[in-house]
Structure 1
């Protein structure tokens, strides 16, 4: 068994050194909070550093997606009707009706083909978002152009049951095109932001299996 030798009083940090170390650590944490955490997570950029590092846009997108997911979840909860308790035959009939209704709606959405064009003007710093209402597996082709400049974008989706996903992101892009396949039932589309010093007009063309197209912001 060994007895450890107690350190000499001179080897221990003084109270002043401990206070100084604590203050330095707190200041460093505050700097990281203001310059990195707030811009990247909440889109709050009091110093402007987040914009320089590209973190502010990330936080704004996260906040926007979180708000939309919460709003969709509330709508879903409001639309849910408690199942009635009754005889076995009534429950079976109700279940069959719901299945027929659900698959009937899905089939109608899947077969509905449409074409649309939309145009949105964005001043410097402004953003917009356009969403398609699609069922899982439905496909739509798209093409968008930023006339007058370039934009940052996020092609993403918010599900009816709270799901979220991002299909593609880009910075300083003049255009985009391709095919969008819905990962789940819900709203699927694009978020654009004009980070230039000039006005930009977004022109979007879509064609495919979706029931609605709407500018949500």
Structure 2
């Protein structure tokens, strides 16, 4: 049986060729990292090639989805914690007997006055805005928002002192939305919009309910 002859020293690549091949491979890997991987995965585009190829927008979407997934996970943990606290409070209340003869009076519940506002914003392509209402716990707000053209991504959410971010509703590529919500705690509650269309979008928000202030925070 014949075995292949061992290559001679002259047939082996020189050290210079090996170093040159290694440097070429490293340069190619670095080029792919900067022009493809970073824009597509992290929306980092130092050369501008990712934007031309549409990879930067892909990276922005991935980063946004990652943030939204983290927010959803925080919301689920908060809801579970609140439900546990409410169950424990109900159990403690059931073990107590109220002596009605000792109840003299109950303090009135302080609520925010009813008010109505209209807010109009114009967002350029890719631009974002946020409008918040200052509300007491259990306050109710009714709303309607509509665009004049294009479409928006939206997130109706809330946050407050010692309270985690809570999302009431998310929307994608919408031109309008109508509804109402009840404030789960005292803090700021409102809307985040981002213009994902290729035209300027004017959004008009009409809101009414129990809140003390409405303002744009972004």
- TM norm. shorter chain > 0.5: yes
Q: Which residue of 1 aligns with 2:58?
A: 52
1:152-191 alignment runs, 5 A limit? 152-191=153-192
Secondary structure of the 1:163 match is strand
TM (norm. structure 2) is 0.57
Q: Which residue of 2 aligns with 1:137?
A: 138
Segment drifting more, 48-57 vs 193-202:
48-57
**For 2:45 and 2:63, how far apart are their aligned partners in 1?**
6
TM (norm. structure 1) is 0.57
Provide the aligned C-alpha RMSD in A: 3.4
Larger Rg computed on CA atoms: 2
**For 1:60 and 1:127, how far apart are their aligned partners in 2?**
15
Change in Cα spacing, 1:29 to 1:126, as seen in structure 2 (3 Å) is closer
Q: Which residue of 1 aligns with 2:149?
A: 148
Specify which structure has the higher proportion of helix. Answer: 1
**For 2:148 and 2:64, how far apart are their aligned partners in 1?**
21
**For 1:29 and 1:165, how far apart are their aligned partners in 2?**
36
Q: Is the 8 A contact 1:45 1:51 kept in 2?
A: no
Q: Is the 8 A contact 2:40 2:58 kept in 1?
A: no
**For 2:122 and 2:38, how far apart are their aligned partners in 1?**
34
Q: Which residue of 1 aligns with 2:93?
A: none
**For 2:69 and 2:57, how far apart are their aligned partners in 1?**
15
Change in Cα spacing, 1:180 to 1:29, as seen in structure 2 (3 Å) is farther
Q: Is the 8 A contact 2:112 2:136 kept in 1?
A: no
Aligned residues: 149
Q: CA deviation at 1:57?
A: 3.5
Change in Cα spacing, 1:34 to 1:150, as seen in structure 2 (3 Å) is closer
Q: Is the 8 A contact 2:150 2:198 kept in 1?
A: no
Instruction: For structure 1, list consecutive stretches of 5 or more residues without a partner in the other structure.
Output: 1-22, 66-102
Secondary structure of the 1:148 match is coil
Q: CA deviation at 1:196?
A: 1.2
Q: CA deviation at 1:59?
A: 5.8
**For 1:112 and 1:163, how far apart are their aligned partners in 2?**
26
Change in Cα spacing, 1:123 to 1:207, as seen in structure 2 (3 Å) is same
Change in Cα spacing, 1:162 to 1:35, as seen in structure 2 (3 Å) is farther
Q: Is the 8 A contact 1:115 1:205 kept in 2?
A: yes
